[in-house]
Amino acid sequence: MKISVIGAGYVGLSSSLCLAEMGHEVIQIDIDLQKVDAINSGRSPLVEPGFDDMFCRHSGHRLKATADYDSISSTEVCIICVNTPSSQKGEPDLSRIESACRSIGYNLRNSHGFHLLVVKSTVPPGTTQCLIRPTVLETCGDNPNIGFAVNPEFLREGQALKDFMNPDRIVIGCWDPKAADMLVKVYNGIKSPIIRTDPMTAEMIKYASNAFLATKISFSNEIGNICKILGLDVYEVMRGVGLDHRISPYALDAGIGFGGSCLPKDLRSLIYLAENLGENPRLLKSVEEVNNLQSDMIIKLLEKRIGDLKEKRIAILGIAFKGGTDEVRDSRAIPVIKELLRRNATIASYDPLALNNMKIFIGNIDQLEYCSSAAEALQDADACLVLADCPIFADLDGEFDLMRSKIIIEGRRILEFSEKEGIYW
Please choose, from the candidates 82, 101, 102, the residue with its C-alpha nearest in 3D space to the C-alpha of residue 92. Answer: 82
Report if residue 400 touches ligand UGA, rule: CB under 6 A: no
**Cα Rg, the chain, nearest whole Å:** 23
**Per CB under 6 A, which region of 189-197, 248-256, 346-354, 371-379 contacts ligand UGA?**
248-256
Considering only residues 155 to 174 of the shown chain, the ones binding ligand UGA according to CB under 6 A are: 155-157
Please choose, from the candidates 168, 152, 264, 167, the residue with its C-alpha nearest in 3D space to the C-alpha of residue 201. Answer: 152
**Per CB under 6 A, which region of 73-81, 96-104, 254-262, 306-314 contacts ligand UGA?**
254-262
Among positions 30, 153, 326, 382, the unique one binding ligand UGA when judged by CB under 6 A: 153
Among positions 9, 260, 281, 411, the unique one binding ligand UGA when judged by CB under 6 A: 260
Tell me how far CA of residue 196 lies from CA of 119, 180, 190, 193, 346, in angstroms. Answer: 15, 8, 16, 10, 54
**Per CB under 6 A, which region of 142-150, 252-260, 337-345, 416-424 contacts ligand UGA?**
252-260
Among positions 21, 30, 253, 288, the unique one binding ligand UGA when judged by CB under 6 A: 253
Q: Which is nearer to ligand UGA, 22 or 262 (CB)?
A: 262
Task: Provide the annotated active-site residues.
Answer: 262
| Rounded (5°) CA angle 12-17-19 | 95
Sign of the Cα pseudo-torsion (391, 394, 400, 401, in order): negative
Tell me how far CA of residue 185 lies from CA of 24, 87, 379, 422, in angstroms. Answer: 11, 37, 56, 48
Q: What is the Cα–Cα distance from 420 to 384, expressed in whole angstroms?
A: 10
Q: Which amino acid makes up residue 6? A: I
Q: Which is nearer to ligand UGA, 251 or 415 (CB)?
A: 251
Q: State in angstroms the smallest separation of the CB of 96 from ligand UGA.
A: 16
Q: Which is nearer to ligand UGA, 64 or 268 (CB)?
A: 268
Report if residue 321 touches ligand UGA, rule: CB under 6 A: yes
Report if residue 406 touches ligand UGA, rule: CB under 6 A: no
Q: State in angstroms the smallest separation of the CB of 399 from ligand UGA.
A: 23
Binding string to ligand UGA for residues 104 to 133, with x set by CB under 6 A, is what?
A: ------------------x-----------
Report if residue 210 touches ligand UGA, rule: CB under 6 A: yes
Report if residue 322 touches ligand UGA, rule: CB under 6 A: yes
Q: Which is nearer to ligand UGA, 21 or 153 (CB)?
A: 153
User: What number of chain residues touch ligand UGA (CB under 6 A)?
Assistant: 20
Please choose, from the candidates 294, 292, 305, the residue with its C-alpha nearest in 3D space to the C-alpha of residue 255. Answer: 294
Dihedral angle computed from the Cα positions of residues 405, 234, 222 and 310, in that order, rounded to the nearest 10 degrees: 0
Q: Which is nearer to ligand UGA, 104 or 217 (CB)?
A: 217
Report if residue 326 touches ligand UGA, rule: CB under 6 A: no
Among positions 124, 255, 335, 411, the unique one binding ligand UGA when judged by CB under 6 A: 255
Three-state DSSP at 37 gives: helix
Q: Which is it for strands 146-150 and 170-174: parallel, antiparallel or unpaired?
A: antiparallel
Q: What are phi and psi of 199, to 5 degrees?
A: -60, -40
Binding string to ligand UGA for residues 49 to 88, with x set by CB under 6 A, is what?
A: ----------------------------------------
Straight-line distance from the first to the last Cα atom of the chain, in angstroms, rounded to the nearest whole number:
51
Q: State in angstroms the smallest separation of the CB of 251 from ligand UGA.
A: 4
Q: Which is nearer to ligand UGA, 105 or 259 (CB)?
A: 259
Q: What is the Cα–Cα distance from 145 to 221, expressed in whole angstroms?
A: 50
Report if residue 217 touches ligand UGA, rule: CB under 6 A: yes
Please choose, from the candidates 260, 205, 332, the residue with its C-alpha nearest in 3D space to the C-alpha of residue 11. Answer: 260
Q: Which is nearer to ligand UGA, 168 or 419 (CB)?
A: 168
Q: State in angstroms the smallest separation of the CB of 260 from ligand UGA.
A: 4
Please choose, from the candidates 147, 202, 203, the residue with its C-alpha nearest in 3D space to the C-alpha of residue 179. Answer: 147
Among positions 258, 370, 393, 425, the unique one binding ligand UGA when judged by CB under 6 A: 258
Q: What is the Cα–Cα distance from 332 to 322, expressed in whole angstroms?
A: 9
Contact criterion met (CB below 8 Å) for 76 and 114: yes
Which contiguous run of DSSP H or E holds residue 213? helix 199-230
Q: Which is nearer to ligand UGA, 203 or 382 (CB)?
A: 203
Tell me which residues touch ligand UGA (CB under 6 A): 122, 153-157, 210, 213, 217, 251-253, 255, 258-260, 262-263, 321-322
